[in-house]
Chains A and B, each alone.
Chain A
Amino acid sequence: MYMRFLTVLVTGTVAIFCSYSMAYAQWKIVKKFVQPQVHILEESKDLLILYQPTLGDTLVLTRERGPHSDIYGKIVRKRGSNPFRIWFVHKNLGSDPTRPRNTWGRFLRMTFLNTLRIPDSEKRQPPESSLESKNHATPISGTVSRHIDNLEDPVYHFTRQPYDAACIVRRVRRL
């Protein structure tokens, strides 16, 4: 009886894990925090595109860091715990002055937004002029430009390749 119990316990647990679909698993948790008025434009294994009709804006979530990500996930291992996914803010979103933090809440609930992290390498950097300036009253973040959003900039096309639904939606919105 004891062996049977052990066998059932182990095989049952492994079966539950194996039968659980690998694809889109990460979006299930994200979609719990999507605001009700937000539409899902696209959902695939690696990509989730949210559209906010009031703002007319989109938010691109990717499973891993990519050139078109606004928010991306990363599996983190910490000693003493099992691997878990953390969501990061990409510089596409974090340094975009047209999409300040207070608009993010129109897409996703604060519970999720509060867990988002901004990597040190992607935090807003003050421009050189403000570093040299002695005028501390100048808001540093307000002067940062997002050059990849400039459609005339060839870097935009490079960093946005390959074109996907997110790029197309954003381009159409801006045009």
Chain B
Amino acid sequence: MADEFRRMLLLYRRSHRRFRILTSIMAAGLICTADPVSAQLIDDFMFRITNLSITQVELAGQTHKPDFTRKKVEFGVGVGPAMLGMIYQHTSKGPRTVPGRPDDGLMITGGYNHMIHPRISLDVYGRIGILSRTPRSDPLYSTDTDIRTKLVFSHPDGKGFLFGKPLFPSAYAGFILNQYGRFQGVGGTGVWWRGAGLYLTVFRAVNGVSDPANPGKHGDVKHAHLKNGGVNLIASYEFSDLVVEIKKNHPLRNGGNDLSVVLQYRYFFKTREE
């Protein structure tokens, strides 16, 4: 039984390059974090799996029906207000989408959260794409390089009650700037109650390509520079350290009508409560 399992694992490793990449990332992550964890420098680690599928895309007023899925595996560690992580992303296209070639991408992520006031926090998060074989002109490029900043308003004591349990409302406003200079404004609001969260966010690009078929000077990066906009509805539920999240994006102007399902596990080595 053990030999058979080992043989299967070897076969899988040989035939799946992405499995080797993922294993390497995980091993490197564990090695890098082992010492800081023992020194109590790292507060927590996070592991997140996302499955995104797009069945409909709005481009320049026209509707397209691609067959697109993207899987993301994210690993991150937190040190005080900062976090560092890595995202491995695998995209695949079905027969309805051309050209159809699966691709892998790797990104380094970093973030910083600063509490300005118990009710106001500044959140900065960035991604740097370090490995991808797909040209940017491909709508299914598998890495992103961008920075996003949010000013988050929340209530530490909750506001109002529902069935005897406090409701925690929050709102945020910010922007996302990618490496091609596309600037997107984002805003959102949400409510959290007994582990269940419901969030509505809106985003809109202020510059970029409106018609991908005639991208003008941004021909090579038309999709990374798409002048898009949309509304996201997110529902999440957390139990203990696990979080399940479902996110639905509806394009208001250019973009994919996509659905994401996220499973996240976060473990806190220690708390900074005292």
Contact B187 A6 (CB under 8 A): yes
Nearest-Cβ distance from residue A19 to partner chain B, whole angstroms: 12
Interface residues of B (CB under 8 A from A): 43-44, 46, 78, 81, 83, 113, 115, 118-119, 121, 152-159, 161, 164, 166, 168-171, 173, 185, 187-189, 192, 200, 202, 204, 229, 243, 252-253, 266, 268, 271-274
Report Cα–Cα, A16/B153, bound state, in Å.
10
Give the contacting residue for B187; candidates A9, A79, A111; CB below 8 A: A9
- Residue pair A83, B46 in contact (C-beta under 8 Å): no
Find out whether the CB atom of B157 lies under 8 angstroms from the CB atom of A25: yes
Task: Contact check, A29 vs B153: say whether CB atoms are below 8 A apart.
Answer: no
List B contacts of A13 (CB < 8 A): 153, 171, 189
Apart from A20-B159, A86-B273, 13 more pairs, CB < 8 Å: A9-B187, A9-B202, A16-B169, A17-B153, A25-B157, A28-B157, A32-B164, A74-B273, A77-B121, A79-B266, A80-B266, A85-B118, A121-B274
Give the distance to chain A from B109, nearest Cβ to Cβ, in Å.
13
CB A79 to nearest CB in B, in angstroms, measures: 5
Contact with B along A69-100 (1 / 0, CB 8 A): 00000111111101111101000000000000
Q: Are B204 and A82 in contact (CB under 8 A)?
A: no
CA distance A25 to B155 in the complex (A): 9
Please report A residues at the B interface, Cβ cutoff 8 Å.
Answer: 2-3, 5-6, 9-10, 13-14, 16-17, 20, 25-26, 28-29, 32, 74-80, 82-86, 88, 111, 117, 119-121
Cα separation A85 to B158 with both chains bound (whole Å): 9
- Check B173–A17 contact: CB distance below 8 A: no
List A contacts of B271 (CB < 8 A): 76, 78
- The A/B interface has a contact count, at CB < 8 Å, of 97
User: Which of A3, A5, A78, A121 has the most C-beta atoms of chain B within 10 angstroms of its own C-beta?
Assistant: A78
Chain B residue numbers with a CB within 8 Å of A5 are 202
